[in-house]
Amino acid sequence: MKIALAQLNYHIGNFEANTHKIIDAIAQARQQGANLVVFAELSVCGYPPRDLLELDSFMEQCEVAAQQIAEASKGIACIVGLPTRNPEIKGKDLYNSAYFMEDGKIKAQINKALLPNYDVFDEYRYFEPSVSTSCIDFKGHKIALTICEDLWNVNDNPLYVSEPMEQLSKEQPDLMINIAASPFAYNHDEERLQVLGDNCRKYQLPLFYVNQIGAQTEIIFDGGSLVFNEKGEVLDELPYFSEAIRYYEFEGKLVKGLQVQNLERQTDIEQIHQALILGIRDYFQKSGFSKAILGLSGGIDSAVVCTLAAEALGSENVMAVLMPSEYSTDHSIKDAMDLIQNLGCKHEIIPIKSAAKTFDEMLKPVFKDLPFNIAEENIQSRSRAIVVMAMSNKFGYILLNTSNKSECAVGYGTLYGDMAGAISVLGDVYKTQVFQLAGYINREKEIIPINSIVKPPSAELRPGQKDSDSLPEYDLLDQILHQYIELKKGPDVIIAQGFDEALVRKTIKMVNAAEFKRYQTPPILRVSPKAFGMGRRMPIVGKY
């Protein structure tokens, strides 16, 4: 039996494009002599469709697309993921399903049993969990077909009370196939290898695992589809962050012609770099946009975002706007111009000094003789937002937000100012990681000016301002933030690790107090195991 794994990039709700892509892959697999081609979870409609699932018209289009794909499966079999209707009155109205199609017909339906409801997942909102399943017979083989989370209940602290593979194993299958929509996080590839390999070792079966690639707003899928032998050893791994179709000969319980692979993992920063480029590119292409705009300050954050955007969209489609204030330094303008020259992107220089001064004069009768403070600082930041948004409206640019995760965490940013944007590129990347990204970008030649990397970070909203005036040094701050946000450690636990008590409590207080700001930020490209946004849901009005 020849099996094809199709690792593709889907578009939520774009049934025409998804169906065409799936049918093309079926035709290609048939031409290569494959007997079975396997596609990812919810491949027909894209993942996650969220409340689109509540529309009857959306479900009707799913069914029409499935019939078109089934008709294209003549002379071959395929497995596709899609939502289906639950015929029972009791329970949720839908299932998260896989269709097994063969010779133009839908021969079997497998429904997902374990529905994740944590972090970015919200499947039990829509789907009924399956309580029974059975193997699929094909070409003299018994296939244990599962959907993503169905294989993720093998660790020492199981999240679910049932285990679909336990039920399927009683039928003595010859192989496992798992179709997935497994989102990217910089540490998730290693966890994925462990969990999937554990299933192979537990059930003594080979596994064909297919994941999708592509970004769906903030969620990024990295691919990395896998083939394991019955010992849980990796025989093949598909590329990360790109589409691919590969073919495998399966006989008995063996994948023929492949040797055990000793895989070299990419570094976290390499993965984050690729993920952010894919996230930017797909956000624009799938939304029908082509041109990006951002404020370029001469600092490291905006320099990294500008560079990533130029790689994702082409430098000719990136507009960098320099908006110096009376507190901007000459070297900041030079650093920004050096980057523009290195990238070849478009640029404009629009000083905001006169705009900020006009606001100051307009507010003087109200502010009276109160001293200069954060109010005047934020006027400058909001003046910049007015400029880039005006250009967005006039020329059709889409604004990229350049705030990093450290700033976003502690509220070091201006609502309706530098926190504005359609998509946040670095909102899940700590400041220390931004420095690493800049170093990775410059790995072969200097693209980001060295001065943008080595100079002390500053918002330049008052004379001589530095981030360290308001925040701890980022090396220390990011460690505390990581403990609190990603690792979910409370203040007492963090303090017990040796961190200064006053600093820990101040940092956590800043994080909690900034929740109202984060609630109003743009979607953040998710690259960590715990990103701000839909994956971290905290009360705005609360005390902790």
- Radius of gyration of the chain, Cα coordinates, nearest whole angstrom: 26
Q: Is residue 533 part of a domain?
A: no
Clarify whether residues 15 and 40 are in a common domain: yes
Asked if 256 and 331 sit in the same domain, the reply is no
Alpha carbon distance 129, 268 (integer Å) = 34
DSSP conformation class of 245: E
Q: Which residue has the tokens 């554990």?
A: 198
Residue 541 lies in a domain: no
Q: E strands within 243-356?
A: 244-251, 254-256, 292-295, 318-322, 346-349
Alpha helices in 153-267 (DSSP H): 164-169, 188-203
pLDDT for residue 159:
84
List helix spans (H) across 211-299: 268-287
Length of the chain measured in residues = 544
544: in domain: no
**Residue 528 domain-assigned?**
no
In this structure, the answer to whether residues 344 and 253 fall within a common structural domain is no
Do 297 and 398 fall within a single domain? Answer: yes
For residues 494 and 390, membership in a common domain is answered with no
The CATH number that applies at residue 434 is: 3.40.50.620
CATH of the domain at 144: 3.60.110.10
- Structurally, the chain folds into a number of domains equal to 3
Answer yes or no: is 532 within a domain: no
pLDDT score recorded for residue 464: 66
What per-residue confidence (pLDDT) applies to 459? 60
Cα(112)–Cα(47) distance, integer angstroms: 14
Q: What single DSSP character describes residue 458?
A: -
Instruction: Kindly list the averaged pLDDT for each block of 10 residues, start to end, along the chain of length 544.
Output: 98 98 98 98 98 98 98 97 96 97 97 96 96 95 97 83 93 98 96 96 97 98 97 97 97 90 91 98 97 96 98 98 83 93 97 94 93 91 97 97 97 95 98 97 96 79 67 93 97 96 96 95 97 92 78
Residues 357 and 223 in one domain: no
Q: Kindly state whether residue 425 falls inside one of the protein's structural domains.
A: yes
Q: Which two tokens stand for residue 457?
A: 């970070």
Q: 160 with 246, same domain?
A: yes
Look at residue 534 and give its three-state secondary structure: coil
Query: What angle, rounded to 10 degrees, do the helices at 353-367 and 374-395 form?
Result: 130
Nearest to 180 by CA among 28, 38, 73: 38
Residues 86, 221 within the same domain: yes
Backbone angles phi, psi at 493, to 5 degrees: -65, -40
Name the residue range of residue 496's domain: 472-513
81 and 178 in a single domain? The answer is: yes
Question: Largest Cα–Cα distance of the chain, in whole Å?
Answer: 87
Q: Known catalytic residues? A: 41, 112, 148
User: What per-residue confidence (pLDDT) applies to 472?
Assistant: 86
Q: For residues 252 and 230, what is the distance between their CA atoms, to the nearest angstrom?
A: 12
| Domain termination site, one of 261, 289, 317 | 261
Residues 438 and 495 in one domain: no
8 Å CB contact between 7 and 244: yes
Q: The pTM is what?
A: 0.95
Sequence-separated (6 or more) residues with CB below 8 Å from residue 141 = 1, 174, 175, 250
HEC string of 469-505?
HCCCCHHHHHHHHHHHHCCCCCHHHHHHCCCCHHHHH
Which of 261, 280, 312 is at the close of a domain?
A: 261
Alpha carbons 55 and 13: distance in angstroms, whole number? 11
Distance of alpha carbon 324 from alpha carbon 523, whole angstroms? 27
Whether residue 537 lies inside any domain: the answer is no
Task: Show which of 204, 231, 261 is a domain's final residue.
Answer: 261
Tell which residue, 502, 105, 454, has the closest CA to residue 299. Answer: 454
Q: What are phi and psi of 37, to 5 degrees?
A: -120, 135
Asked if 419 and 499 sit in the same domain, the reply is no
* Same domain as 63, residue 95: yes
